[in-house]
Chains A and B, each alone.
Chain A
Amino acid sequence: MMVFLKALFIRILAKPYYVGLSIFLTLSFVVVAFVISNTAETNISVAYLSDEASVSLDAPFMRVKKVDETPSQASLMMGEYDVFVLVEDGEYMVQSMTSDTYVSLVEAYLAGDEVSEFMSSPRPSALRIVGFLMIILFLQCIFYLDLFIEDKLSGNLSRMMMSNQTLSRYLFSVMLYGFIIIIGIAMLVIVMASTVFNQAIGLNLGQYMLVFALSVASGMALALLLLSLIKVRDNAAALFSLIVILTSILSGAFTPVDTNQAVLNAIIEWLPQRQLMALSEALYLGETIWTHIVYVLVFVGVFLMIAFSVIKRHLQLGRY
């Protein structure tokens, strides 16, 4: 296995932009996660236009900004402002492009009703960091499996299997080298943020290591499965990216998601990213973590077994 690993590391270092891009993306996402954690706001963004000197719009759940002209519909659609309040002659006109709930909430507040149940607390920084990094850790997995595709297309994989090497040893190596690079860069960035820049990271380094390791293992398993099932690499990569993005968003990697649909929420609970987010939350709160770990490991195991069987079958049929 060491022979495989050594050869894989030498080959990937001959393509410096792979590692360079990994460093750049990981660093960028961690910086963004910290910037957001330090300034995170979960309040409703309210823009108001009024000819009066001051308007009583200072509820703790609101982030209020006085504007000089009516905001564009586009800015309301893109969420720059959740709600626009026009104050004329002491009368309020409340408008939102996206949510009638926000309109009801602001109207209730302006009418003097109790609205404290709508207030939410900011997400802990650890969950923000994990959520942001998880997606980039997943996306990099298919990137490093490029060497597997190269070996497959060039016939090297078939040749290697003619020697005394086993397929499982090769596949384990080709995933392990990517695993080491991805985890190494992510941990390095987290250590730097914690020690050099004195940022509060929420979890300890061992806990981050656990979450990152399970994330990369899941990403590698899914990527290998798609690459084994789909012949054209570009199609597999496009599908992989799409699956990762959609499932990560649904799992609440960026912001908590509630679809208001019981069935969909139940399905979301089965996503590995959801379990990874739940694992991070459990680590942060000091709760039990084994259910989440076992679920992710089962997911990884099943996907790898299918991928392994498919690749082995293709090799036996001479398709590589």
Chain B
Amino acid sequence: MLSIVKRDVLNLLVNPALNLYGTLFPVLLITAMGVLNQSMFATDIISSYDYYTVTLLVFIMFNMAVISTNSFMEVSIKQANLRIGYAPIKRYQIYGSKIMATFLFSLLSMGIALVFMRVIFSVNFGIDVLWLVLVLSAGSLFASSLGVMTVILLKHEESANQLLGIILIVFALMGGVFFSPYAIGETFGNLSVVSPFRWVIESAFLALYDECYQVLFKTVGVLVLLSGLCLMVCQKCFKLEAYL
């Protein structure tokens, strides 16, 4: 399985569009939102760059679901991927390697984006950036599993991408990625708890600025459990013949 994962990671790394999406895209997005909303964070405690580095990295991490669908069944690599199915390997290794590859790719992208934001914009990550890395990693693992599961269920990469893209945007809007959910009113703020984006963002802020780790551990636990659930669905529903 390791050799398949290596190959899949390499496939992702040589794709310029995906690399831009994972590294340059979050940096540009954070810069744009940071500049636009400077006046909304007019205190010495937190800047708009500090806020949007956390929220937009969460956004990018969840959007790794779209990259995992690409790495699994994108038209140009689908046939090559399916050929692996004829090798004497376990079924889970086919989709598992794509999940693992996307997960590793997202960690690398996140690392680059974090270093860039720290060096260029002197972003303050509160107490310890490792807490942010931990919860983002859990989010990324869930997103990678969710993307592959969606392709397996819908059997088409394009449809899975469209569905995931629109659902992720809706949850991101609700979860405080682009603006505070409470800016629209207390009701909307309370409704936003249904968004996984909100769980991750809130738990990251609690850990980084309040030294409160309970919510973060719970969030990581839930995301890992959900990832496990996705893997179970993948194992039950993945039938190679359906994609030929």
A280 CA to B170 CA, complexed, in Å: 23
- Confirm or deny: A203 has a beta carbon within 8 angstroms of a beta carbon on chain B: no
Contact B209 A15 (CB under 8 A): no
Partner of A255, one of B36, B42, B169, B184: B184
Contact with A along B173-216 (1 / 0, CB 8 A): 10010111111111111010000000001100110011010000
How many Cβ-Cβ contacts under 8 Å join chain A to chain B?
135
A18: chain B residues within 8 A (beta carbon): 162
CB B37 to nearest CB in A, in angstroms, measures 8
* Contacting pair A77 B51 (CB below 8 A): yes
Chain B residues near A17: list those with CB within 8 A.
154, 159, 163
- The stretch of A34-42, A191-199, A300-308, A309-317 in contact with B is A34-42
A97 contacts which of B21, B46, B187, B201 (Cβ < 8 Å)? B46
Q: Given contacts A73-B205, A78-B205, A79-B181, is CB(A35)–CB(B191) below 8 Å?
A: yes
Q: Once the chains bind, are B210 and A238 in contact (CB under 8 Å)?
A: no
Residue of B nearest to A232 (CB): B17
Give the secondary structure class of A's interface: helix
Residue pair A139, B43 in contact (C-beta under 8 Å): no
| Distance from A2 Cβ to chain B, minimum over Cβ atoms (Å) | 27
- Give the complex CA separation of A260 and B176 in angstroms: 22
Q: Are B36 and A235 in contact (CB under 8 A)?
A: no
What's the Cα separation between A255 and B37 when bound, in Å? 13
Residues 1-29 of chain A, each 1 if its beta carbon lies under 8 Å from chain B, else 0: 00000000000000101100100010010
Are A260 and B39 touching (Cβ within 8 A)?
yes
> Are A79 and B189 in contact, with the CB atoms below 8 A?
yes
* Residue from A233, A254, A255, A259 within 8 A of B158 (CB atoms): A233
A153: which B residues are within 8 A, CB to CB?
Answer: 75
Stretch binding the partner chain, chosen from A111-119, A208-216, A243-251, A271-279:
A243-251
Instruction: Give A contacts to B, CB under 8 Å.
Output: 15, 17-18, 21, 25, 28, 32, 35-36, 39-41, 45, 63, 72-74, 77-80, 96-101, 135-136, 139-140, 142-143, 146, 149-150, 153, 232-235, 237-238, 241-242, 245-246, 249-250, 254-255, 259-260, 264
**Contacts A78-B182, A146-B159 known; 17 new A-B pairs at CB < 8 A:** A28-B170, A36-B187, A41-B185, A41-B186, A72-B209, A72-B212, A73-B209, A77-B209, A78-B180, A99-B42, A135-B173, A139-B169, A143-B166, A234-B161, A237-B162, A242-B29, A246-B33
